[in-house]
A and B are shown apart, each in its own frame.
Chain A
């Protein structure tokens, strides 16, 4: 699986958009970009994933550059409850799962009043 690079920490004001970058310059054509987050002392929570098109769901938007070497997770209106470590992971998606997820160091997002 391709390696990812994320800033170790970011701050965001409540109500503002949080833009979390991820660099994955060695991504392969069949690798997806996944985002998970981990609130303190809980298991990771799925946020969103994409292959090459931008994606949006009720939690966030995912913007993937045309060359697929980087992406940005956007939380449109961050709240205090969005304070967590955000992990960007790239991997091949296999029908039925089965491949392990490898976590990097992630970005600690702190949302403040």
Chain B
């Protein structure tokens, strides 16, 4: 149980275009979704926290106008990278807390974004 489905698993886009990444909670309601970014050989860095029906909270140094987050329903959160540049190439991962103590958090499978 507690699966977060993330799509696409990989995407290549041209500089200046926008890319949308979706995370869906399949068998539970995710009122909160965390979005992480991971550069090669580095750890996961939290970008922002989205809450259903309200504005996302961004970590320091993350441009909210560049990384648009929408959490319009209890099962879907999206991250849109706008006007993508090569330096935005990274591995993006979403995560949602479970409503029991055992797991803590469940993660999506990640999206590999390459901007050319």
* In the assembled complex, B106 has its CB within 8 A of some CB on chain A: yes
Q: Quick one: closest B residue to A93, CB to CB?
A: B101
Sample 14 A-B pairs with CB under 8 A, ordered by A number: A41-B91, A41-B110, A43-B95, A44-B95, A45-B107, A49-B102, A93-B104, A95-B101, A99-B97, A100-B34, A100-B46, A103-B44, A104-B43, A105-B43
Closest Cβ–Cβ distance, residue B94 to chain A (whole Å): 8
Taking a contact as CB atoms closer than 8 A, the residue among B4, B97, B109 that contacts A98 in the complex is: B97
The residues of B that contact A34 with a CB separation of less than 8 Å are 104
The residues of B that contact A49 with a CB separation of less than 8 Å are 102, 104
Taking a contact as CB atoms closer than 8 A, the residue among B6, B31, B98 that contacts A43 in the complex is: B6
Q: A43-B95, A101-B105 are in contact. List 4 more A-B contacts (CB 8 A).
A: A41-B91, A44-B93, A46-B103, A87-B43
CA distance A44 to B6 in the complex (A): 13
If A41-B91, A43-B6, A43-B108 touch, does A97 touch B43 (CB 8 Å cutoff)? no
Contact A101 B95 (CB under 8 A): yes
Most buried by B among A49, A101, A105: A101
Number of residues in B with C-beta < 8 Å to the partner?
29
The main secondary structure of chain A at its interface with chain B is: loop
The residues of A that contact B91 with a CB separation of less than 8 Å are 41
Q: Interface size for chain A: under 10, 10 to 19, 20 to 34, or 35 or more residues?
A: 20 to 34
10 A-B pairs with the lowest CB-CB distances in the bound complex, closest first: A97-B97, A43-B107, A103-B44, A103-B43, A44-B107, A43-B110, A43-B109, A46-B103, A43-B93, A96-B99
The main secondary structure of chain B at its interface with chain A is: strand
Q: Quick one: closest A residue to B57, CB to CB?
A: A100
Contact A97 B44 (CB under 8 A): no
Taking a contact as CB atoms closer than 8 A, the residue among A42, A98, A103 that contacts B110 in the complex is: A42
Contact A97 B46 (CB under 8 A): no
Q: Quick one: closest B residue to A48, CB to CB?
A: B102
The residues of B that contact A103 with a CB separation of less than 8 Å are 36, 43-45
Closest Cβ–Cβ distance, residue B9 to chain A (whole Å): 9
Taken residue by residue from 46 to 60, chain B's Cβ proximity to chain A (1 for < 8 Å, 0 otherwise) reads as 100100000000000
CA distance A104 to B31 in the complex (A): 25
Tell me which residues from 13 to 41 in chain A have a Cβ below 8 Å from any Cβ of chain B. Answer: 34, 38, 41
